Amino acid sequence: MISSKRQFNIACLQTSPRPDFQAALDEAISLAEKATAAGADIITLPEYCGGLKTAGSAFAPPFETEENHPVLKGLRDFAKNKKKFILIGSIAISGPADKILNRSYIIDDFGNIISRYDKIHLFDIKLSENELYRESATVHGGETAVICQTPLGCFGQTICYDLRFPHLFRDLSQAGAEILFVPAAFTKKTGEAHWHVLNRARAIENGAFVVAPCAVGKVEGGGECYGHSLIINPWGEVLADAGADSGFINVNIDLEEVDSTRKRIPSLSHDKAFEF
């Protein structure tokens, strides 16, 4: 730890989309060990860090019940043994109506699940005649926004395509979120065009840190993830960018920057409602 609970080191693990639980867990633990050695107090992972494949236009990640999910168990054990907080960007959990849940978790430094968030906005997109994604074909969407109070600060949870819906980030920030998590498996095409500017905008609009671990590389069955995991301060400055290879980034942050930025530009208290 740094000098106070408002100051700590946070890491993004930039993993590759793996087709099965064991390969996904092996890479996550290997990078988590390196991030721990580099001083990370909080370790964050991308969307579908428990495994990802596609089948045509549908997402087809390996899935399991929460009680029996080996990646969830492995990362909880790591958090407990290393005394680290972990954001599991998302894993596929058995859901209702023969669908899965794209679910994110925050794990405390005792290995306890302290927060769950099911992705609200599902990625149903036609990028071109040959590149079509229908996440809703296999995923049951969430309905509840989630913030998590921890000894290290207040965290707001989102996943990937949620990034394009600024009202969600506004609501999280007005509810107290100081760090906005954006774990993702952003496509390379959309990432090259929009990833940096959208993440910076969400930080600037809300005077919050944005921590966005993104998967990188080819997906079995089709598609490619963009990488470029980001840590951005409340002024919109990119503190770290993981580039286009597997690995990790980590930086020291001070949540007092959130307070000072919001005092300088108090836009969270200036919203107005309109009728049409």
- The token pair that represents 168 in the structure block: 């969600």
Amino acid letter for position 71 = V
Question: Comparing C-alpha atoms, which of 188, 179, 197 is closest to residue 133?
Answer: 188
The strand ranges marked E within 15-128 are 42-44, 54-55, 58-59, 63-64, 85-94, 100-107, 113-118, 124-128
Quickly count: other Cβ atoms within 10 Å of residue 59's Cβ: 25
Query: Given 160, 188, 214, 257, which residue is catalytic?
Result: 160
Q: In which residue are the tokens 């905008």 written?
A: 201
Q: In which residue are the tokens 């530009």 written?
A: 265
Query: Given 27, 64, 84, 119, which residue is catalytic?
Result: 119
Whether 135 contacts 124, CB under 8 Å = yes
DSSP 220: B
Question: Comparing C-alpha atoms, which of 182, 185, 184 is closest to residue 218?
Answer: 185
> What's the CA gap between 219 and 163, in Å, rounded?
21
Per the annotation, the verdict on 12 as an active-site residue is no
Per the annotation, the verdict on 119 as an active-site residue is yes
DSSP 93: E
Query: Given 47, 135, 178, 257, which residue is catalytic?
Result: 47
- The token pair that represents 36 in the structure block: 């721990």
Per the annotation, the verdict on 160 as an active-site residue is yes
DSSP 45: -
- Tell me the CA end-to-end span of the chain in Å, nearest whole number: 50
> What's the CA gap between 201 and 84, in Å, rounded?
29
> What's the CA gap between 181 and 238, in Å, rounded?
15
* Residues belonging to the active site: 47, 119, 160
